[in-house]
Amino acid sequence: MPDNRITISFFIALLLLTCNVVMAQYVLKQARGQAAVYNYTAAKPLFIKAYNKKQSLEAARGLAEIFRNNNEYEFAESWCAKVVTMPGHSPEDELSFAEVLMNNSKYAEAKQQLQSYLSKKGSDRLAENLLAGCDEAEKWLRNPVKGNLENMQVFNSQYSDWGLVRINDQFVFSSDRPYDSVRRQPFFQNSNIKRDHYGWTGNSYLHLYQSNGKDSNSTKLLNRDINGDYHSASASYTSNGREMYYAKTMLVKKSASFLGKEQPYTLNVTIHKCDWDTTRQNWNKPVDFPYNGVFDYSVGDPWINADGTFMLFVANYGEGNIGGTDIYSMQKDLDGKWMSPVNMGRDINTEGNERTPFLDSDGTLYFASNGRVGMGGLDIYKAVRNNANGWTVTNMGSPVNSAQDDFAPFFTRPLELYFSSNRLLGKGSDDIYRFNFSKILVFALEGTVVDKATREPLKNTVITLFNKVTGTPEKTLTDERGHYSFKLDSLTDYDLSAIKTDYASVTGINLTTKGLTESKTLRRDIELEKVELNKPVKLDNIYFDLDKWNIRPDAEPDLNHLVKLLNDNPTWSVEMSSHTDSRANDAYNMKLSQKRAESTVKYLIEHGITADRLTAKGYGETRLVNRCSNGVKCSEEEHQQNRRTEFTIIDK
């Protein structure tokens, strides 16, 4: 007869497993519901909880999408990498992975995913443009447009700041920074839309701010009639400053169901107009744009010409819609009424999203798109009328464009471009930048990147040069010889870093052109160390006193180096392991090594590494590296080889 205890244990284990699966499905359902209404701040921890209970494709895909939509590209890459290795993943998962790899400037890896996707899907114009963009991006990075890029600190915060325009002597832009305002609370509030924060980002809603452009303390909210409880963004003005068009979201009620309970719904973006009241010296209440469709489609990103008779805007509606959001044009008739919008056609619009149009005084159109050959995300393009009465469109190249989203172009002078970007190393999520096309660079930097062990050159390494004066990064890729180069500004301090898949990142390389009196090419060669999952890496100089487990001062430099390595590679999870020699009994050595491993983890946590990335494991004398086991006579130097601390990357 079977042992009843074994049978009971089996059924308990089966019951626990079943409960875990059921709970994972329940949490996953909750996560799906929050993600469906773009409440990503609530959906993310639910997807994480569901994944920890059961490592499902849906949970991993949900997290990849949330990190991607919130522009957290390093973490999005880590989750996308998991998704494409899981059974049942789709070709579209590979396409999403490719786009995230491009956002991280990993064009060679992105090409592999795109080629795999196209081999399964056949013709796909968006994917083909992305594939071409991988090659073109490398050329643009190696041959950047001459000029000076500056992060406009006076406008930017740690939050999203974008869409700068100038009217008279003032600047207006959008931001989701925290704000103070009196909110009118309705008697009944039964909408899924929350007033205290935007569920997508967890920040405030976007509002329009005004600044003199010289002092950040001058920044203030536009009045309450313009900035309601929800989003206000993308302002555009006539030349006299008396007509203003902007994009807005509002709480609009649908008819209640027969149960008297409002169902969740998504409101679309709408355009509104305000007129300046010269008597009151203030804006009148906004009026609706005649082609709004709050329950059916979005219209936004308005641009108005100098006399208010011609408008550009974007929308995702109509029989002529080519894909995503398209750019439309519209004119007023002789009676001053807006005529029907006209889609600008395939010369301008693509199957992707076109955004933030701007037309300069010469009739040149500037806009953002993610449907063309580009560097990743939204890129800024320049469109000029050609002899066939169509448009010739060109990418504005690096450093105006980056691997992330670049959009909202606005010229204040012919050679002075303001635009917005969520590129890495900015001050916040989206930042406002200025690019002056006239500056000539004098100094240069070049070097070679090699594998530390084999000395082989490493091509397609992402090299980032951070300008400490302007607060802006510039990127390039190493060529077949592992070579890279940059042009440098004079009197400037820089920070250099190198990142490549499967290698430990190198950051914090300092260099400067200050004090140089002659033109010069600086040289910085870089060695990258290859890292592998589940392969222990020994830390030098991590020693403990006899029978002690506290961290000694002489161990701190190597541990601080590990802190930097983990900060440079934020997706790594590591096991910190401690080992002893064979002297003393086995049980004692096991306990002592565990305490030493835990002390090491504690040190890392105290220096900013989150606990969920670290595991402490003591191995005692179970993993000796030489012959010095119990009873074997060895020198002190041989025993020391076994008293070591190691780290192992268990997830990257």
Statement: residue 144 has pLDDT above 50? yes
Q: CA of 260: how far to CAs of 255, 256, 257, 263, 334, in Å?
A: 9, 5, 5, 10, 47
For residues 70, 73, 74, 78, the Cα torsion angle rounded to the nearest 10 degrees is 90
Burial (0-12, 13-18, 19+ Cβ within 10 Å), 31: buried
Where are the CATH 2.60.40.1120 domain residues in the chain?
A: 443-528
Residue 559 pLDDT greater than 60, yes or no: yes
What pairing do the DSSP bridges indicate for beta strands 379-385 and 391-395?
antiparallel
pLDDT in tens, 183-224: 333 333 333 444 556 665 667 889 999 999 999 999 999 888
Token reading at 231? 């989003």
Q: What is the pLDDT of residue 425?
A: 85
pLDDT confidence tier of residue 106, bands split at 50, 70 and 90: very high
**pLDDT bucket at 265, cuts 50 / 70 / 90:** low
**Is the distance from CB of 283 to CB of 275 less than 8 angstroms?**
yes
CATH homologous superfamily of 443-528: Carboxypeptidase-like, regulatory domain (2.60.40.1120)
**CATH code for the structural domain at 148-182+193-253+264-436:** 2.120.10.30
Q: Residues 436-440: what's their mean pLDDT?
A: 73
Q: What is the CATH number of domain 537-651?
A: 3.30.1330.60
Which CATH superfamily, name and number, covers 4-142? Tetratricopeptide repeat domain (1.25.40.10)
Distance CA 606, CA 563 (A): 10
pLDDT bracket for residue 366 (50, 70, 90): very high
pLDDT tens for residues 617-641?
999 999 999 999 998 999 988 888 8
Secondary structure class of 349 (helix, strand, coil)? coil
Encoded tokens for 166: 């100038």
Give the C-alpha distances (Å, rounded to integers) separating 443 from 106, 275, 404, 422, 602.
Answer: 27, 50, 27, 27, 45
CB atoms within 10 A of CB 422: 21
* Mean pLDDT, all residues of the chain: 87
Q: Are 100 and 76 in contact (CB under 8 A)?
A: yes
Residue range(s) occupied by CATH 3.30.1330.60 in the chain: 537-651
- How far apart are alpha carbons 84 and 81 in whole angstroms? 6
pLDDT tier at 47 (50, 70, 90 boundaries)? confident
Instruction: Provide CATH 2.120.10.30 ranges for the chain.
Output: 148-182+193-253+264-436
pLDDT at 416: 94
Q: Where in the chain is the domain with CATH 1.25.40.10?
A: 4-142
> Which pLDDT band holds residue 479 (cuts at 50, 70, 90)?
very high
Strand, helix or coil at 598?
helix
Integer distance in angstroms from the first to the last C-alpha of the chain? 48
Q: At what angle do helices 57-69 and 91-103 cross, to 10 degrees?
A: 30
Burial of 176 (0-12, 13-18, 19+ CB in 10 A): buried
Report the amino acid identity of residue 260: G
pLDDT at 155: 96
> Is residue 419 within 8 Å of 410, Cβ to Cβ?
yes
What does the pLDDT average to over 576-589? 90
* pLDDT value of position 539: 80
Task: Give residue-wise pLDDT tens across range 114-123.
Answer: 999 999 998 8
> Does 343 have pLDDT greater than 80?
yes
pLDDT at 457: 97
The residue type found at 301 is D
Residues 6+ apart with CB under 8 A from 239: 306, 307
Q: How confident is the model at residue 439 (pLDDT cuts 50, 70, 90)?
A: low
Kindly report, residue by residue over 492-538, the tens digit of the pLDDT.
Answer: 999 999 999 889 888 889 999 998 888 899 999 999 988 888 888 88
Q: How large a percentage of the chain has pLDDT more than 90?
A: 58
423 contacts 404 by C-beta, under 8 angstroms: yes
